[in-house]
Amino acid sequence: MTDPGWTHAAFAKPSDAQDALERLAEAGVAASEIEVRSSIPLGHEVCPVGPQVHSRVPLMAVLGGLMGGTIAILLVTLTSRAYPLPTGGMPIVPLPTAGVITFEGLALGAILCTVATVFFECRLPRLDVPAGPFDRMLADGSIVIAVRSDRVPSQWAAKATATAPTESQ
Amino acid sequence: MAAPANTAKEAALLRPITGVRPGLILGSLVTGALAGLLFFSWGYQIKNDIGVAGINRPVFWGFYITNFVFWIGISHAGTLISAILRVTSAEWRRPVTRCAEAITVFALTIGGLFPLIHLGRPWLFWFMIPFPNSRGLWPNFRSPLVWDMMAIGTYLTGSVLYLLLPLLPDMAILRDRAMAETPASLKARLFSFMALGWRGTTQQWHSLEAGIKVMAVIIIPVAVSVHTIVSWDFSMTLAPMWHSTIFGPYFVVGAIYSGIGVLMVAMYLLRRGLGLQEYLNDKVFNNLGLLFVAFTVIWTYFTAAEHITVWYGHEPSEMAVFWERVSGDYALVFWGMILVNTVIPLAVLSFRWGRKPFATAVVGFGVLIGMWIERFLIVVGTLRLPRMEFTVGTYSPSWVELGILVGSFGMFAMLYFLFVQFAPIVSLWEVREGDHIAGSAAASPEPVTEEAVR
Amino acid sequence: MTRWGMVIDTDRCTGCGACVVACAAENNIQTVGEEEAHNGRAMHWLRIERRYEGTFPDVKVRFTPVLCQHCAAAPCEPVCPVYATYRTPEGLNAMVYSRCIGTRYCANNCPYTVRVFNWHDGEWPEPLERQLNPDVSVRPAGVMEKCTFCVQRIQDAQDLAKDDDREIGDGDVQTACAQSCPARAIVFGDLGNPASEVVRLARSERSSQLLEDLGTHPSVFYLRGGE
């Protein structure tokens, strides 16, 4: 079975792009064989028919926060007790001061985990990405759909402003 | 309707990046020279001991701590606009988010220098960093200065990432344009690198938007905590008129207030200098002006509350500081501050005609000066009059402190000039998205809200 | 438990300033010069506060030497980010010069304003460097300092006592200021020793402390009110 290669098409309007996606779905092309790219988020207007796209970011933010907060508490309590120096009649590990550091640790953990998750889910950084045929049009606002399947119907990109012939990736 | 984007409007935005503008280069050089003044003065101080500054006993903190609190305060501009307006889905934020976030990052960078500048032995600053060492010593987590370090470190990390995340799609736009037009140029390679391979797929957008939303929610309490902790540098002490419970919220409000002031000045200059009237339009200035008035009222309320309670309590060591401000040595600066922070903003911005770009920028500039004075009065005003009357003192800054003050503004401006030439100062994709939503709302018979589209 | 403390009798103090000079000599305190002193940078660890009491013709002058109070709940200690100042088990507020990075936060939080800062390196033109006390370090610019209750003398007395295998007796340790006072207004000793002179004087009905209501629990007692 030869590699069908990628077929690209650029659309001016989201409705046209969605139309093309529906035609692809009717022809039996799976969502995993389609890639939709745009310069603004259009997830709800233009999405391949298939399972919902999920993001783990909120969950990872919470987990990262808990991790960061725990590290902060341990940092404060263990280091203060390792070399206890009384200051100002205060306890060695006062609750309010430990609370401040824990809060910041929580926030830092959540921030770093959020960004790490975003990068992981987006598969970034990827500096070896080859340029696509319609990148310039994409930058000006077009929606680009790329399909890699041997079930692509002939008229799927009828409303496209430009198409590129089938080529190998 | 959606694409293609309004290329004529975007051309104005992209011109400073794709072209070479002598005005911007000259600006970068001049402000760069001022930034050099900061480092020259600082170098002079390191070589010739901290004594070249004007601080003494009892005024152990002077301009440097004033500047520190001032710059950290200004950094709250970005958080308010970017985060709070994102969380509340206010559409008018779109043209403003990036320039506000840039203000935050640069102001934090500069603000973060001042704790180093004011140290007696700055080369030992690393004693404050927690890491296992042969002495077995760790920093004192009970000290508000260590809380400062943790808070500002977290906020700086968060702000930089919060600026860079929404920058990725814009960098991708710049990359795709540059690759198509001048693929071998330095800028094309820079944009390719900065875009990190962003392709704009559905999955990527979903993830990025989730990330930005979560960051917006996290960064608001971080910002509140940062300036609260900075204010606790003062209120955790026993010094008269420092030991006040109101300082936490007071400083946060003051920070956001001064942040909006800087934002308005910056926006006006960008609008005039780069021809961005279509983006930074009258509506944005009007809304910011309204927000500004709200903060004028809140700031005035806190200031009044602080002073009335001190006056009513009539505690001698506090009253000495009170009278110094109200009728004593610092009366002129104190009432000048009330003029530019309360009277002028309320007089000008309460009316629609006052919320035009130029007027708002002038009021914003006045508030900058007023808020700097407020920090100065808090720091120096109290330290001059300690409890034991035999140690009262005076303070006058030396040329080193003045050079560093002027230099810090120069450095801020320089960073901004440079940023404007390498990244779109208005978030391209967010404005496009906003236009698309507005266009869909206009075209479809049923109301299309942002929620429905999302 | 040893707890160092001091009693200063302001009824006896004549304001002569010998204690200030002795302290400076004992502890290698730099002389900043007239101009710097005028700008509020004098480095005396001990200052004499002069107050006039009464109205003419019954005017009296009261001199109060103020030095580091070595508070049990010292406000200066918790604010130092690097532990350059803390409370020793013997009740001294210690100052660790080599750890100090010069944030000057401790000085801001001292309600007695007794801390002084080295704004510049000290200068001892020849042959004045020969007067430096070898038991005391010379502090560089950027470092905070204050009265240490002559910790080097305490250390010395403790070493001698250990050599002789005995406890430190009352009067074995004399701070420079106590030693030099011609009116014997300053008495230094162990507040933890019930038989010591400082405890006897601190319990007198003339005894009070500075800024008592702040709750700093100072180790210095001031006597006044007698004739």
pLDDT at A48: 79
Q: How many Cβ contacts (< 8 angstroms) between chains A and B? A: 202
C-alpha–C-alpha distance, residues B322 and B15, integer Å = 52
Contact flag B206-A35 (C-beta cutoff 8 Å)? no
Instruction: Count CB pairs under 8 A between chains B and C.
Output: 135
Answer yes or no: is pLDDT of B63 > 80. Answer: yes
Per-residue model confidence as pLDDT tens digits over B237-293 = 999 999 999 999 999 999 999 999 999 999 999 999 998 998 999 999 999 999 999
B245 token code pair:
């419970």
Which residues 67-106 of C have a C-beta within 8 angstroms of B?
75, 78-83, 99-105
Residues of B within an 8 Å Cβ radius of C: 49-51, 54-61, 115, 118-122, 124-125, 127-128, 137, 139-140, 142-146, 149, 233, 236-239, 383, 386-388, 390-391, 393-394
Mean pLDDT for C92-119 is 97
Contacts of A137 by beta carbon, 8 Å cutoff, 6+ apart: A10, A144, A161, A162, B4
Which chains does A contact via 3+ CB–CB distances below 8 A?
B, C
C78: chain B residues, CB-CB within 8 Å = 140, 142-143
Distance (Å) from the alpha carbon of A109 to chain C's nearest alpha carbon: 23
Q: Supply the range of the domain harboring residue B199.
A: 7-453
Confidence of residue C95 (pLDDT cuts 50, 70, 90): very high
pLDDT digits (tens, 9 = 90+) for B420-451: 999 999 999 999 999 998 888 776 654 444 44
Residue from the list C109, C119, C121 with its beta carbon closest to the beta carbon of B238: C109
Question: What is the rounded average pLDDT of the residues C54-71?
Answer: 94
CA distance C6 to C202: 8
Distance, CA of B411 to CA of C207 (rounded, Å): 57
At A168 the three-state DSSP class reads: coil
Residue A86: list chain C partners with CB under 8 A.
77, 86-87
Q: Do A86 and C72 touch (CB under 8 A)?
A: no
Percent of chain C whose predicted confidence (pLDDT) is above 70: 100
| % of chain B exceeding 90 in pLDDT | 82
**Of B82, B6, B90, residue with least CA distance to B439:** B6
Residue B329 predicted with pLDDT over 60? yes
| Residues of chain B neighbouring A104 (CB-CB closer than 8 A) | 147, 150-151, 153-154, 222, 225
Residue B206 clears pLDDT 70, i.e. is over it: yes
| Residues of chain B positioned with their CB less than 8 A from the CB of A117 | 207, 211
Q: Do B51 and C120 touch (CB under 8 A)?
A: yes
Average pLDDT over residues C97-120: 97
d(CA B292, CA B365): 12
Report whether pLDDT(B5) > 90.
no
Compute CA distances B68 → B58, B78, B231, whole Å.
19, 17, 11
Secondary structure, 3-state, chain B: CCCCCCHHHHHHHHHHHHCCCHHHHHHHHHHHHHHHHHHHHHHHHHHCCHHHCCCCCCCCCCHHHHHHHHHHHHCHHHHHHHHHHHHCCCHHHCCCHHHHHHHHHHHHHHHHHHHHHCCCCHHHHHHHCCCCCCCCCCCCCCCHHHHHHHHHHHHHHHHHHHHHHHHHHHHHHHHHHHHHHCCCCHHHHHHHHHHCCCCCEHHHHHHHHHHHHHHHHHHHHHHHHHHHHHHHHHHCCCCCCCCCCCHHHHHHHHHHHHHHHHHHHHHHHHHHHHCCCCCCCHHHHHHHHHHHHHHHHHHHHHHHHHHHHHHHHCCHHHHHHHHHHHCCCCHHHHHHHHHHHHHHHHHHHCCHHHHCHHHHHHHHHHHHHHHHHHHHHHHHHHHCCCCCHHHCCCCCCCHHHHHHHHHHHHHHHHHHHHHHHHCCCCCHHHHHHHHHHHHHHHHCCCCCCHHHHC
Q: Is the Cβ pair C111, B146 closer than 8 Å?
A: no
Please check whether residue B2 lies inside any domain of the structure. Answer: no
* Residue B102, number of CB atoms within 10 A of its CB: 22
- What is the spatial distance between Cα B376 and Cα B70, in angstroms, rounded to a whole number? 9
User: Across the interface, do C78 and A88 touch by the CB < 8 Å criterion?
Assistant: yes
pLDDT at C192 over 60: yes
Q: Report chain C's mean pLDDT, rounded to a whole number.
A: 95
At B452 the pLDDT is 42
- DSSP secondary-structure letter at C169? P
CB C60 within 8 A of CB C53: yes
Interface touch B60/C40, C-beta < 8 Å: no
DSSP letter (8 states) at residue C10: T
Q: Residue C16: what pLDDT?
A: 96
| pLDDT confidence of residue A133 | 84
Asked whether residue B454 carries a pLDDT value surpassing 50, the answer given is no
At residue C124, does pLDDT exceed 70?
A: yes
Of residues C33, C26, C43, the one with CA closest to residue C131: C26
Q: Which pLDDT does position B447 carry in this prediction?
A: 45
What does the pLDDT look like over B163-204, one tens digit per residue? Answer: 999 999 999 999 999 988 888 888 889 999 999 999 999 999
CA distance A139 to chain C (A): 51
High-pLDDT (> 90) share of chain C, %? 95
pLDDT tens profile B209-241: 999 999 999 999 999 999 999 999 999 999 999
Question: Above 50 in pLDDT, residue B44?
Answer: yes
Nearest to B124 among C47, C78, C101 (CB): C101
What is the model's pLDDT at position A169? 44
Question: Does the structure show a pLDDT above 70 at B378?
Answer: yes
* In a domain? residue B1: no
Res. A4 pLDDT band, cuts 50 70 90? low
Q: How far is Cα B287 from Cα B155, in angstroms, rounded to an integer?
A: 26
* All chains having 3 or more CB pairs closer than 8 angstroms to chain B: A, C
Chain B touched by C214 (CB under 8 Å): yes
d(CA A71, CA A68): 5
What mean pLDDT is predicted for residues C39-56?
94
DSSP state of C95: E
For the complex shown, is ipTM > 0.85?
A: yes
Residues 134-163 on C with a CB inside 8 Å of B are 140-144
Provide the pLDDT for residue B287: 92
Domain tally for chain B? 1
Chain A residues close to B161, C-beta within 8 Å: 111, 115
> Which 117-146 residues of chain A touch chain B by CB within 8 A?
117-118, 121-129, 131, 135-143
Q: What is the pLDDT of residues A60-97, one digit of tens each?
A: 999 999 999 999 999 999 999 999 999 999 999 999 99
Model confidence pLDDT, tens digit, residues B350-364: 998 889 999 999 999
Contact B173 A47 (CB under 8 A): no
| Cβ-nearest to B60 among C79, C108, C211 | C108
Contact C53, C154 (CB under 8 A): no
CATH code, C4-223: 3.30.70.20
Angle, alpha carbons A41-A45-A51 (nearest 5°): 95
What value does the mean pLDDT take over residues A10-25? 89
CA dihedral of B427, B428, B432, B434, whole degrees rounded to 10: 10
| Residue A83 to residue B137, Cβ atoms within 8 A | yes
Neighboring chain A residues of B219 at a CB cutoff of 8 Å:
111
User: Are C83 and A88 within 8 A, CB to CB?
Assistant: no
Instruction: Return the pLDDT at B444.
Output: 60
The domain spanning residue B17 has which CATH number? Answer: 1.20.1630.10
Q: Would you place residue C227 in the very low, low, confident or very high pLDDT band (cuts 50, 70, 90)?
A: low
Nearest CA to B229 out of B150, B157, B306 is that of B150
Neighbours of C, requiring at least 3 CB pairs below 8 Å, are A, B
Q: For all residues of chain B together, what is the average pLDDT?
A: 92
Token pair 């609190």 is found at B69
Please indicate if any CB of chain B lies within 8 Å of the CB of A32. Answer: no
Residue among B433, B197, B145, B101 at smallest CA distance from A129: B197
Chain B touched by C122 (CB under 8 Å): no
